[in-house]
Amino acid sequence: MATFSPEPFRIKSIEPIAQSSAADREARLAEAGYNLFNLRAEDVYIDLLTDSGTGAMSANQWAGIMLGDESYAGARSFFHFQDAVRDIMGFEWVAPTHQGRGAENVLFSLMVKSGQVIPNNTHFDTTMGNILARGGNPTNHVIAEAHDPTNAHPFKGNMDVAALEAFIQKTGVENIPLGMTTITNNSGGGQPVSAENIRQTAEVYHRYGIPFFIDACRFAENAYFIKQREAGYQDKAIREIAREIFALADGCLMSAKKDALVNIGGFLALRDEALYRRVAQELTLREGFPTYGGLAGRDLEAMARGLYEGIAESYLAYRINHTRYLADSLVEAGVPVMQPPGGHAVYLDAKQIAGHIPAAQFPAQAVCAALYQQGGIRGVELGSMMFAHQHPETGAWIYPDLELVRLAIPRRVYTQAHLDYVVKIAKQVMDNRAQLRGYRMTYQTKFLRHFTARLAPIEG
């Protein structure tokens, strides 16, 4: 039986959300070309599109918003924020950016030259995009277990360290300006990376003289999984685990919209002063003066406070259990879910739900559309709509192995009753799956088509 532990907070401020009728939602869905990105958020009841920037801030953070120092240079809020990053992550040099991709843009513009290769366990879309934009080549080296939705490996985000080393030897260190690992591995299902694996990854990069950067969006959730699952970490504080991990790296990039519990913000944190000097110059050109980056003073204040709230043990126990509760409840209801559940999201296995719909007719999108139509729930398709690509010579479509629907969970936003409602609707979709129909695309762009595509249901 799935269990839900009580929240370590109570509700001080509420935001109304409204449920519409199924007929209304059918009309909105048709207007949106059956693509949930095209909906107005007001027409969504439970929004599980992303966990990024959608969390609820605490009273302490809102109080910090009022105390934000909006000075252009040397604001007090910057020093609060810098102190928090130094204390939790141990990096001396801290550069705020408007969000994670701002940090990617600044770092890669300085470090990546055309034709160079940047390995990772799995790059997130924007990381990949920012490397490609510099003419670089992002490569993924996650362990094979990551590709099997039924494999319950406890650290499915781990790097295949042997494959990484072989790749470095084959590619040549002169072609690898930096190496990365992403914690947790978002594109691989929010799966954690073990401390041992991060240590081995750092050791390989450093043996070849390659600077090592961590994509740290969900580092606190990752540290909590380490504490729960990895031998020798049970008695360590989350802050201690975080310090140990970051001590292995030369720097990190962070979208603070995840584990720093803010609605906007990010940063780059570095060990090397010379690199920081170059970053500061680039930052001034692209984001803002180095003590505010792309942010207001109030955002820096909220981020400083959020970083500490994000590593609080009681919060993380609630957070990870909240996600697990949704996954376990779905399994109990007979809805197939990728195992084990990650930190920030639950992934429905649409191949098992809508196996009768061929990849060319977007089975995971059919499940997304049904969740919205039947219950006002918005998830995101991670399947043939997002990942299918054409063979460069034959033009034939190549479809991904997995057809998933990501239900990402905003932090501190939805209650147990909301999650139970999601389970009820997902079960209804599952029980009536024979009625699900495929879609054909009526409009698409050449790149990132899933954001703006329009579809039409295939009748019959």
Give me the least distance between CB of 267 and ligand F0G, in Å please: 10
For ligand F0G, which is the closer residue by CB, 361 or 365? 365
CA 256 to each of CA 23, 260, 375: distance values in angstroms, whole numbers, following the listed order: 38, 5, 30
Which residue has the CB atom at the shortest distance from ligand F0G?
A: 100
For ligand F0G, which is the closer residue by CB, 100 or 438? 100
For ligand F0G, which is the closer residue by CB, 126 or 352? 126
Give me the least distance between CB of 450 and ligand F0G, in Å please: 12
Give me the least distance between CB of 122 and ligand F0G, in Å please: 9
Write out the two tokens for 23. 């007929």
What are the backbone angles phi and psi of residue 143, rounded to the nearest 5°? -60, 155
Write out the two tokens for 226. 């380490």
For ligand F0G, which is the closer residue by CB, 110 or 264? 264
Peptide bond before residue 184 is cis, with ω within 30 degrees of 0: yes
Give me the least distance between CB of 131 and ligand F0G, in Å please: 12
Give me the least distance between CB of 13 and ligand F0G, in Å please: 24
Give me the least distance between CB of 392 and ligand F0G, in Å please: 27
For ligand F0G, which is the closer residue by CB, 182 or 201? 182
For ligand F0G, which is the closer residue by CB, 371 or 430? 371
For ligand F0G, which is the closer residue by CB, 82 or 99? 99
For ligand F0G, which is the closer residue by CB, 257 or 322? 257
Give me the least distance between CB of 211 and ligand F0G, in Å please: 18
For ligand F0G, which is the closer residue by CB, 183 or 441? 183
* Among 76, 64, 70, residue whose Cα is nearest residue 308: 64
Give me the least distance between CB of 409 and ligand F0G, in Å please: 11
**Can you give the binding site for ligand F0G, defined by CB under 6 A?**
50, 52, 99-101, 124, 126-127, 182, 186, 215, 217, 255, 257, 266
Give me the least distance between CB of 443 and ligand F0G, in Å please: 23
Give me the least distance between CB of 413 and ligand F0G, in Å please: 14
For ligand F0G, which is the closer residue by CB, 124 or 212? 124
For ligand F0G, which is the closer residue by CB, 124 or 246? 124
The set of residues, in sequence order, having a beta carbon less than 8 Å from that of 355 and lying 6+ positions away, is 363
Give me the least distance between CB of 101 and ligand F0G, in Å please: 3
Neighbours of 444 (CB within 10 A): 14
- Residue pointed to by tokens 């709509």: 385
